[in-house]
Amino acid sequence: MKTWFYVMCVFLGGCSFGVLSTFVKLAYEAGFTMFEVTGSQAIIGTIMIWILALFVKKQKLTKKQIIKLAISGFPMGLTGIFYYYSLETLDASLAIIFLFQFIWIGAIADWIILKRKPSIQKILSIMIVLIGSVMAAGILTSGEKIIDLSGAIWGVLAALSYSLFLLTSGLVEREVPAIQRSAILSTGSMIIVLLIANPLSWINTDTMINIAPYGVLLGLFGVVIPPILFAVGMPKVGPGTGSILTASELPVVVLLSMFVLSERVQWIQWVGVLVILVGILLGNRSFLSNPFREKIGLLKENKKNFTS
């Protein structure tokens, strides 16, 4: 498989996560609580991915492998919990900036755990993406912000757990088929969410019926699509490069805020979106240039064969 394919998998996985905040806002406007939103997302998403897993070839796993994969899914569930907690005391523009610290955290994890020291190009790419995220989040146009300490702590915890999720997506039981692997990861995510969200306090027939449309969308874009795409692409690109690629989340947030929520998007936010995309391209220049190098190599080889 071509390297650009794995890059696109991780990039699109980030885009999928970018869809979530819009539907979460719509669910909140409809009167649902944070526990109801995260709980329904986890339950419905896990059911959906297991239905999908019924129709694909699966590998026989040991109990140890299943437990390891389920535990590896905990960070996915914790990220949503921590991020939604941060939104209770922080403006969305500030909360997402704290979340976006996963970009440099992922690069450090790549360096420490996998011994892949970030290149100057990657460091520059991270700096560009972080600058673009500040611009795209609208923090420069919304006046002075009051930073609540508890909200900041929850935001940093969300960044740490998201970095850990990206890391485990690329390292744990890599040989297991992507959909089967994602189903077990999602089950682990659901377990940790339900332990925290206390489903006995909100699960009832009326709530589940009313929240089902939101749960399906949140489950699809938050539980089904990203883990599968990350399971395919993350082992090939690594957590450092993967962290940069998943910055695609914020441009999607900006676009959907305008088209779905009818929010006004300032010109500096569009500039921020472009800056993020430039940073992503810079950080993945070596991956994206491979197909062209391969084509040039084939042309040279064909020319050599022709002349000989």
CB count within 10 Å of CB 259 equals 11
pLDDT by residue for the chain (308 residues), tens only, comes to 577 888 889 899 889 988 888 888 888 888 888 888 888 999 999 999 999 999 888 889 999 999 999 999 999 999 988 987 887 777 766 777 888 888 888 888 878 887 878 788 888 888 888 888 888 877 777 666 667 788 889 988 999 998 888 888 778 888 888 889 999 999 999 999 988 887 776 778 888 889 999 999 999 998 899 888 988 888 888 777 777 888 888 888 888 888 887 777 788 888 888 988 888 887 766 655 555 444 444 444 444 543 44
Of how many residues is the chain composed?
Answer: 308
Reported pTM: 0.80
Q: What is the spatial distance between Cα 148 and Cα 153, in angstroms, rounded to a whole number? A: 9
For the chain, give every domain's residue range.
3-307
Nearest one of 212, 211, 285, 261 to 4, comparing CA atoms: 285
Residue 185: half-sphere exposure toward Cβ, Cα within 13 Å: 33
Q: What is the spatial distance between Cα 60 and Cα 19, in angstroms, rounded to a whole number? A: 34
